[in-house]
Chain A
């Protein structure tokens, strides 16, 4: 009894708080009458502020006690000195409370709870996609990690998912979606690709052998400021949201801002234009962060930038009609990739260099990456060919992602078979 009074005195010193930070839930299973009696006596010690979630019932029945932080050490010492064993059911009650609150908010707000219950057949907002990324990483910590490669103009984090089975600085494939924010089927496809990689890396021999040797980097929302703007203000917004000049107009075309033929014809010097190249190369943090990443990684072997719409598979150059030295090989890869894509739903793609197939474009992403020595540099323009254009119905997301994935695998497989 004296021990209990002492225990109570020790605890009385500590002030109580209203939160549950540091509180633990202990479980005791009394195995004899003496233990049971001692546990019952704990209920009388009001100073300990013990909260019995499962009150003592009898021998063999668990007793669960929420113990406020100040009472923890004294109680544990007391139990130990009396030979009463216990286990820690909950390490920190507040963490659990916070988590639960978050889950409740999520399900009320429609935020996903797991990547298995995530709805891939609908368009999501930035919060939902960023939540998805965190879930994917949490569910597959040995395969995926999330890197922050920079911040957008409006200070949003720029996240890249890294899929890796290990090694150090393995040759890598880079895929980005959503660089032009209105091209919604691309971000949606990026989300699907992320899940697909996880699902397939066990079952699909092709992907498994690719990941045995190479890493995959995937930036799903390459232009988050623009993306949020398409959700809140203007569905047709394409560019970044930067302001550079005295012009009232905002935004730079991130696919004209790269240092390859920068400022030449095929981009506009007018800040109000949809193809404004910006004041200088890499003026946009969304672009610079990728440039810095690619340069410091130093071992990226394939770079695929995904856009919509037009149903095209394109390789460099856009800024000049001079063919790239690897034209023949890139053309052959494109032919195979497009055939694979078509095989699923019959979707028809054309392919060729940017300049002959769509238009002259200077400062384009894959022109820069190719000139950096990344031979397998491609741009996709996904569905459709203009009937829905940017407003592609959500029910086409998964078919689009599925067929595009087949083309991506052709490129990745070629890279595996033809290292350089």
Chain B
């Protein structure tokens, strides 16, 4: 039995945020980060012995270009009881996402041609500034954090990437780019800021992979 939820409902918002994070991980790149613009419709279904399933109709936006929106339907299943199993997320995008091949290639070549491995801190800085050359690095973190968020979400959490504390490019012998990120995740329900390490692999046309990630102790913040 599915219960209709107001788009403003907190539970709808959490499921929508999770769905968006997952979707962004699957479809994002340094040239494209997707964020949730609004919830058009939300329903919640209690499935006995299984869990809670949310049926969502969302409007997403392509972050660099605020005027570019795309509709999406998604289903989020939070499994009953088990805290170690990530929620199941399925989605369908209505229409095509903008092609970012050119932007991705430019970024790829820029990083490959650096003499020294890239290192940066505090993106954005305290005032919300992101240097233009760091925008793709930021988007990449946003996309990769979608994986971490997906893996660690429950019906009682709502995560966003708050800041990149530190990013360090790792040398690789193959064609992939590898970055070691320490990010801060903001969890809305507990209001906690959680440092998290994630190792991110990327190659144009190959999507974003998080190969390793781990929660960090709180004192890493200062």
Chain A interfacial positions (CB closer than 8 Å to B):
122-123, 184, 230-231, 233-236, 238, 253, 268, 273-275, 310, 312, 348, 350-352, 355-359, 385-394, 396
Contacts and interface: CB of A to CB of B under 8 A. Distances in A.
26 contacts: A122-B127, A123-B126, A123-B127, A233-B222, A236-B186, A236-B193, A236-B221, A273-B190, A274-B190, A274-B192, A275-B190, A310-B188, A348-B37, A352-B6, A357-B8, A358-B188, A359-B188, A386-B36, A387-B33, A387-B63, A387-B142, A387-B160, A390-B162, A390-B186, A391-B126, A394-B127
B10 interface: yes
Contacts of B17: 386
Closest 6 CB pairs of A and B: A393-B128, A350-B8, A386-B160, A274-B191, A391-B124, A391-B128
Contact of A394 (B10, B33, B128, B189): B128
B131 to A, nearest CB: 12
Given A236-B193, A358-B188, A391-B163, A385 B35 contact: yes
Contacts of A234: 221-222
Contacts of A310: 188
A238 B9 CA distance: 25
Contacts of A236: 162-163, 184, 186, 193, 221
B160 A389 contact: yes
A403 B189 CA distance: 26
B7 interface: yes
A393 B124 CA distance: 8
B10 A389 contact: no
Contacts of B37: 348
Given A123-B127, A356-B10, 13 more contacts: A184-B126, A234-B221, A236-B186, A236-B221, A273-B192, A350-B7, A356-B6, A358-B188, A386-B160, A387-B142, A388-B124, A390-B186, A393-B124
B169 interface: no
B128 A359 contact: no
Interface of B: 6-10, 13, 17, 33, 35-38, 63, 124-130, 142, 160-163, 184, 186, 188-193, 221-222
A351 B128 CA distance: 26
A284 to B, nearest CB: 16
A351 B8 CA distance: 6
B42 to A, nearest CB: 12
A230 B161 CA distance: 18
Contacts, number: 92
A275 B33 CA distance: 31
Contacts of A386: 17, 35-36, 160-161, 186
B16 to A, nearest CB: 10
Contacts of B162: 236, 389-391
Contacts of B184: 236
Contacts of B38: 348
Contacts of B221: 234, 236
A238 B193 CA distance: 10
A275 B191 contact: yes
A358 B190 contact: no
Nearest to B160: A386
A352 B8 contact: yes
Contacts of B161: 386, 389
A53 B42 CA distance: 79
A170 B161 CA distance: 45
B203 to A, nearest CB: 25
Contacts of A233: 222
Nearest to A180: B191
Contacts of A390: 162, 186
Nearest to A123: B127
Nearest to B193: A236
Contacts of A273: 190, 192
A392 B130 CA distance: 11
A391 B190 CA distance: 19
Nearest to A312: B8
Contacts of A355: 10
Contacts of B126: 123, 184, 230-231, 235, 391
B57 to A, nearest CB: 15
B44 to A, nearest CB: 13
B6, B9, B160, B192: most-surrounded residue (chain A CB, <10 A): B160
Contacts of A238: 191
Nearest to A230: B126
Contacts of B9: 352, 356-357
Contacts of A348: 37-38
A358 B188 CA distance: 9
Nearest to A387: B35
A393 B129 contact: yes
B36 A385 contact: yes
Question: Which of B127, B161, B184 has the most CB atoms of chain A within a 10 A radius of its CB?
Answer: B127
Contacts of B8: 312, 350-352, 356-357
B35 A389 contact: no
Contacts of A122: 127
B74 to A, nearest CB: 17
